[in-house]
Amino acid sequence: MGFRKWGDDITGCRAINSEYEGIGDPAGLYEALRHVWCAETCAPRMRKDWTPQNMTLGQCSVTAFLAQDIFGGEVLGILLPDGNRHCFNRVGNCMFDLTSEQFEDGELDYDVYDPQTREEHFAKEEKRLRYELLREKLRELCSRSGE
């Protein structure tokens, strides 16, 4: 299925650093993350439902902040009916949601969102640790592919 993108052409959204070798745009990041998302990087409340077939489940905030590390921009959040937020990214006029696959089409209203901060999200230690694990797994993948 892939991820959701809109606004300016996604290929115009380029990495702002070379820390993650081989990842130049959000499509490249998505393809790399498909090799590193796992139950341990999924939100604990959703782990029982995580599967390799639904690998984006519970990965939104840690993924969005990692994408921000690579491309800059903002992390935005949509309020969900259960009171949680679903996070996605905006870089200039390019918007993308690397974890949209976990939702049915039309389930999210991307027109109503709020800016999200690391301070707020990473105040939960488990979320900060999941972000650090995802970041480390991505670094390892990129270093192996660069050999």
Could you tell me the residue ranges of all domains in the chain?
A: 4-145
Q: Provide Rg for the chain, Cα atoms.
A: 14
CA atoms within a 13 Å half-sphere pointing along the CA-CB vector of 63: 30
Q: What is the pLDDT along the chain (147 residues), one digit of tens a residue?
A: 578 787 777 778 999 988 999 999 999 999 999 999 999 999 999 999 999 999 999 999 999 999 999 999 999 999 998 899 999 999 999 999 999 999 876 678 899 999 999 999 999 999 999 999 999 999 999 998 655
